[in-house]
Amino acid sequence: MATTWIKPIHRGASIAATLKNRTQYTKDHDKTEGGEYISAYECDVRTVDAEFLFSKTMYAQVTGRDQGKRDVVAYHIRQSFKPGEVTPKQALEIGYDLAMRWTKGKHQFIVAAHTNTNSPHTHIIFNSTDLSHSKKFRNFKWSSIALRKLSDQICLERGLSVIENPKSSKGFNRREYLGENKPSTVREQLRDLMDAAIPAGKDFDGFLAALVEAGVEIKRGKQLAFKLPSGKRFTRQDTLGDDYTVEAILERISGKRIVEPKQKSSAPIISPAESITKPSLLIDIQSKMQQGYSKGFEHWAALRNLKESAKTLVYLQEVGLDNYDDLVNAAVDSSVRFNEASAKIKVTDERLNAITALQKQISIYSKTRDTYAKYKASGWSQDFFERNRADITLHKAAKKYFDSLGYDRNNKLPSISTLKQEYAKLSAGKGKLYSEYKQLKQKMVELQTALRNVDTILGEPRQQTKTQGRDVQSL
């Protein structure tokens, strides 16, 4: 759902007050039919704020960490639905499913379906601290997009509508989903009136006369300015764009300049059965029906599977795989190549980390060398050691680190400049490796999806093919 968003809840005056404020809003009895549409995971609805707070107290004791006012104490997710598509009970079930999948069952959460708008929508508050009290959820870049995709998947499974190409990368543009048009701005309205006035005027004065007749007020000065019939202030002509300057208007009147009318774009709302670029997995309808899905879902899923089957066959024709054995071999090969690329990236990352650690220890060793030399010259004086404990300890640790890597008089440490050159070369190579990795991953997913679909269409049992010590599912 493009109307699904996630926002971090930062610590306010106190953690307790922040949690109480947010959870009370979510549990609002006026918005949840007296509390009927509220559910929770690993906590009690009545004491959710206190239980969240307790987990944070335990987290501080276990880890010793305190981020102060920068701390994110919880996260707030809002999920909206197209009016008329879900009941409050269904909205609550979908919201609970979204929260469980998003947190992987590792965080407490509360979910409530609010019924105070045209269509039920859900609010989810989940604890940033996990159930082990040792880790926290870290919001990542483009998390809203990932959340929206997960929400879309859950909605598609239930036969609900989604937006095909939402404009908002943040994931909470409600106007797109509900089909509401954003009101035209003053400048857009003026441009529309000018577009309509141009055919009515044989010259610029005739153009202005047509505007006046339409109720537009005109003010003359260094620049012409216009005010809408119901407007409050004038808008200068030079702020309306290149197609609305005096010169451009004259060219348009004479026919030298043609301006196509701009159509306001709107995000297409698609049904779950509409196609996408690549084949998607066929739905196991029997399994879904056993889980209690409706007859309506069964009908939609059957139609969707029919389209996906056709799409799979078209895809296989496009990539030149019209033989089942060739398809199996291609899928196995794509898995092997993907695993090889993944292994190369892992080796590169390990070396990059090793270089970073070695550079750090070399720097520490160099900075503490003089102190350690003086400590040695003092005859290992305890007094000197106590005064310079930190530097001496760091120096010893660095020396121990070098010894563990096999560096000694016969195998000298590399220079910092040599390490930097190696690091730069590896980083550049990693960029190329990662580009190849992404392409191989996409290809592997496409082929594996096609294989599973063909297997389902043909009703063939799945087999396991051993490939380089890994089990690759051939479908």
Could you report the per-residue pLDDT of 366-388, keeping only the tens digit for each? Answer: 999 999 999 999 999 999 999 99
Nearest-angstrom CA–CA distance, 455 and 475: 5
CB–CB of 472/444 below 8 Å?
Answer: no
Label residue 302 by pLDDT band (50, 70, 90): confident
What element of type H or E holds 23? helix 15-26
What are the angstrom distances between the C-alpha of 142 and each of 128, 148, 171? 18, 10, 9
**Within 10 Å of residue 296's Cβ, how many Cβ atoms?**
10
Helices (H) and strands (E) in the chain, counts: 14, 12
Closest CA to 108 of 161, 58, 55, 65: 55
**Joined tokens for residue 49:** 């704020």
Nearest-angstrom CA–CA distance, 136 and 65: 11
Q: How does pLDDT run across 185-244, given as a tens digit for each residue?
A: 888 888 888 887 887 677 888 888 888 877 889 998 888 999 987 778 899 998 998 889
Query: How large is the average pLDDT for residues 148-175?
Result: 65
Q: Tokens 């944070």 map to which residue?
A: 56
DSSP 8-class letter at 279: -
pLDDT value of position 194: 86
pLDDT value of position 425: 87
Q: How does pLDDT run across 81-103, given as a tens digit for each residue?
A: 887 788 899 999 999 999 999 99
Nearest-angstrom CA–CA distance, 186 and 227: 9
Closest CA to 263 of 171, 173, 184: 184
pLDDT value of position 183: 59
Q: Answer whether residue 265 shows pLDDT above 50.
A: no
Average pLDDT, the chain: 80
Reported pTM: 0.41
What are the angstrom distances between the C-alpha of 64 and each of 8, 59, 132? 22, 8, 15
Nearest-angstrom CA–CA distance, 352 and 347: 9
DSSP assignment string, 66-97: --GGG-EEEEEEEEE--TTS--HHHHHHHHHH
**Within 10 Å of residue 454's Cβ, how many Cβ atoms?**
21
CB–CB of 217/211 below 8 Å?
Answer: no
Closest CA to 110 of 86, 82, 79, 76: 76
The CATH topology of domain 5-178 is BirA Bifunctional Protein; domain 2 (3.30.930)
Q: How does pLDDT run across 266-279, given as a tens digit for each residue?
A: 444 444 433 334 66
Share of the chain above pLDDT 70, in %: 82
pLDDT value of position 258: 75
Task: State which amino acid sits at residue 405.
Answer: L
